[in-house]
Amino acid sequence: MNRTDFIYTDTYFPELTMPVNFKTGDTLLFFESKQIYWKISTILKNKKEIVDKLNISGILCPNATHFIETFNSNQRFFIPDRTKNLEKLYYFGNLDTLGIQTFLTLKEEAKINNLQPWITMYERLIDKSTVTENSFGKNRLEISQKKLDKFTKYFDQSYQQMICNLLLHQERSISYEILSVKDFLQ
């Protein structure tokens, strides 16, 4: 894959842009990778009730590694016209330094100001990791406490401590792959 495959003039295009319910949806989901979308695509197609009763308009997947390596703040990040005015924008991916850096780049450099972590899914990921064998991996990037705080500020105190302990002190991560399709249901 060429480093410029997703860049056209001054616009960065996600690896996957998928409409779900453009007409009445009120939520845009950003996934770290398209594999998360493919994991839950059946429940979206069958209109099953998803966590937090989200009415999903569409899904964007930037491909975290490629996005971090190629995006610069002079570019616009492509968001479909029908979803540009949505106020509910959530990000979900691995609980690791790469995923958090992707979230921060989308929020700060791509200027997607109202983007927030999908708290319920991150909490489910953390909770499931405590009972799932081999659920921890190694981080690929370093992250400062300041950057981590920008992500964890959305969580309650107990989850903030768990995330900081995991990523900074243990230098470990949790992959979204430990979640089953059922974990995404209400």
Asked if pLDDT for residue 143 goes beyond 90, the answer is: no
* Cβ–Cβ under 8 Å, residues 68 and 103: no
Q: Write down the pTM of the prediction.
A: 0.90
Closest to 14 (Cα-Cα) out of 78, 109, 71, 82: 78
What per-residue confidence (pLDDT) applies to 165? 92
The fraction of the chain above a pLDDT of 70, given in percent, is 93
What per-residue confidence (pLDDT) applies to 130? 84
In 111-171, where does DSSP find H-type helix? 119-129, 145-152, 157-164
Give CA 39 to chain center in angstroms.
Answer: 14
- At 66-80, the pLDDT tens digits run 888 888 888 889 988
